[in-house]
Amino acid sequence: MKIISWNVNSIRAREPLVEELIHKENPDILCLQELKTEDKNIIDNFFKSHGYENISATQKAYNGVAIGYKNQNTIRTIDLDDLNTLQARNNCILIEDQKTVILNCYFPNGNPIGTDKFELKKNWMEVMLKHLKKLKREYNVIITGDFNVIPHDLDAHDIKKYKIDALASKEARKFFFSYKNLDLIDPFEFQDKISTYTFFDYKTYKFGKNEGIRIDFFLISPYLFKKIKDTRVLKEYRDMERPSDHCPILLELDI
């Protein structure tokens, strides 16, 4: 099973790149974040044209997430509606024959610290923790997406720029590590940090200088970690015409 996760920063702007990704990688499951459209028909038509079923949560101009899937005969949707009360930020599916749940997430950014946006980030991450605790009792877990968290100083080219940023705040990091403490594993954690940056700001050509941060993740159960065939940050999509500021990340499992 090949799973790709990508913050596309507008599906309409990035549709040609997502099509190229599908043609080249042929993922079984494609998790997209920051769709920036409330028109579900756009999402449905896109996925159907490439042979996928999908579920989506959409919102005008901001946020929005979708999971496209194919070659899966036992998919069931799990509604975690309290994560989408204010904003469209989560999908969750259960692959019943694999006893595996996949949560596709666009975590709140939270900036600036000390505002309602930061409180939303903390509250949302706490609700997610409660769901993960429950789901993990019954299923293998894959949670993926744009976490908007820099867990370690080495996950940034220059962490000094983020010392007063919500992404590197002690509160955001605490929640991230609380997810890992549920016995979830970050498969990219063991790779060279510079090679695993997933976000490059558009300003001053950060990608060309490899001045990025790592904020897009897979966290997976130990059983699934043992089944890994491949993990990659697909940086070539950040170097294409009209790219997203995020790179797709790939996880392939022998299941």
**Residues 219-230 pLDDT 10s:** 999 999 999 999
Pair type for strands 53-57 and 75-77: unpaired
Number of H helices, E strands in the chain: 5, 11
- Which residue's entry shows tokens 């002690």? 170
* Residue 206 pLDDT exceeds 90: no
Report which residue type is found at 137: R
User: What residues contact 25, with CB distance under 8 A and at least 6 apart?
Assistant: 2, 4, 234, 250
Region 7-30 average pLDDT: 97
- Who has greater pLDDT, 251 or 97? 251
Q: What is the pLDDT of residue 48?
A: 96
Q: What is the pLDDT of residue 247?
A: 98
Region 230-236 average pLDDT: 97
Q: Cα separation of 90 and 106, whole Å?
A: 7
pTM, to two decimals: 0.96
- Domains along the chain? 2-253 (3.60.10.10)
* Residue 254 pLDDT exceeds 80: yes
Which DSSP category does 247 fall into?
-
Give the pLDDT confidence of 120-168 residue by residue, as tens digits: 999 999 999 999 999 999 999 999 999 999 999 999 999 999 989 999 9
* Residue 204 pLDDT exceeds 80: no
| Three-state SS annotation for 51-88 | CCEEEEECCCCCCCEEEEECCCCCEEECCCHHHHCCCC
Give the pLDDT confidence of 65-88 residue by residue, as tens digits: 999 999 877 899 999 988 988 899
The first and second tokens of residue 191, run together, are 């790779």
Tell me the H-state helices in the chain: 11-25, 40-49, 116-136, 170-180, 222-225
Q: What is the pLDDT of residue 18?
A: 98
